[in-house]
Amino acid sequence: MNQINIRTAFIAVGLLAATQYAIAQINESDTMKWQLRVSLTGSYQEGNAEILNIRSRLEFLVRPHEKWAFKSQISNLYTRFYDRTIDNDINVRNFLYFQPERRLSGYIAAFVFTNHRRKMKSRYVIAAGPTWQAIRTKPFILKLSANIVYESTLFKDTVFNQSRYNGQEKISLWRYSLYAGGWGFFFNNRLRLYYELFLRQAFNNGKNYRTHLEVGFDLPIWRGLSFNTVYTSTHENVVVKNIREDDRILTFGLSYLFRKKLD
């Protein structure tokens, strides 16, 4: 993991640890029957440069039974520079949790996404493992997870920065994954800060790994409507040749949260 990711992660964790209050959030371990959160962030610039960036996200959770919870996160990133499309990505992440209210629980996950900037046609991920709620208080949640991952990526090119993969349009492999995520609150319930950080490392190649860091905050405005800011930093150590390994994005916009309790 690069030094920028590590430094930013420690800043986020430190800020979260100092919080003292709690408001509603998407949380698979509570007793809500279903929860819905939508967000839309973006920016537009014209003049000497014409840039459009839109980032949308839909997140919902359903508890069909007290022992099970299903959560889905669907996001889209679109960026245009003049008439050139830089990003046009879809990311779908699905999770099935068993007894998520326990401190130690299990889950399986299935991800599907595309990445135009990194010349990925598609990537499929299946993961399973335990989750430990290391800290679970009203003002602060910290979850840790370790799991086994099977991943298959279809690229638009066959020449990579690591020559051992040259000639392969599809790279399929097993990884182990380490994850930390959670949220906390500032200023008498007025600011929610959340984050997630993971490392995924290939079993058969120490140089094939990637990291992901996302930090965001919601500032409540009115009845579930919040001002939202999201910072994302990703690193892929295996990329198509001439594609950079690091990407960072900062966006601003609005989010909305709705929740309904179990009957």
pLDDT in tens, 58-109: 999 998 888 899 999 999 989 988 888 888 899 999 999 998 888 999 999 9
pLDDT score of 10 more than 50? no
Residue 41: the pLDDT is 79
What is the helix (H) or strand (E) element at residue 180, kind and residue range? Answer: strand 170-186
More confident position, 249 or 109: 109
| CB-based contacts of 85, cutoff 8 Å, min separation 6 | 78, 79, 116
pLDDT score of 243 more than 90? yes
pLDDT score of 22 more than 80? no
**Hey, what are 100's tokens?**
């998520």
Residues facing 228 on adjacent strands: 218, 253
| CB-based contacts of 251, cutoff 8 Å, min separation 6 | 41, 42, 43, 53, 55, 229, 230
pLDDT score of 245 more than 60? yes
Residues facing 135 on adjacent strands: 142
Dist. CA 175–CA 213, nearest whole Å: 18
Q: Which residue type is seen at 164?
A: R
Most confident of 2-11, 43-52, 127-136: 127-136
Domains of the chain are: 3-33+62-71+93-261 (2.40.160)
Residue 261: the pLDDT is 64
pLDDT score of 8 more than 60? no
Dist. CA 201–CA 210, nearest whole Å: 7
pLDDT score of 143 more than 50? yes
Unique residue bearing structure tokens 């998407």: 26
Q: What is the pLDDT of residues 179-219, one digit of tens each?
A: 999 988 878 778 889 999 999 999 999 999 999 999 998 88
Q: Which of 57-61, 169-173, 198-202, 248-252 has the lowest mean pLDDT?
A: 248-252
Long-range contacts of 107-113 (CB under 8 A, 24+ apart): 107/131, 107/145, 109/147, 113/89
Neighbouring C-beta atoms of residue 147, cutoff 10 Å? 21
pLDDT score of 5 more than 60? no
pLDDT score of 18 more than 60? no
More confident position, 107 or 250: 107
**What average pLDDT is seen over the chain?**
84
Q: Is 239 helix (H, G, I), strand (E, B) or coil?
A: coil
pLDDT band, very low/low/confident/very high, at 6 (cuts 50, 70, 90): very low
pLDDT score of 113 more than 80? yes
Neighbouring C-beta atoms of residue 42, cutoff 10 Å? 15
Residue 21: the pLDDT is 29
Cα torsion for 11, 13, 19, 25, to the nearest 10°? 120
pTM: 0.79
Dist. CA 217–CA 200, nearest whole Å: 25
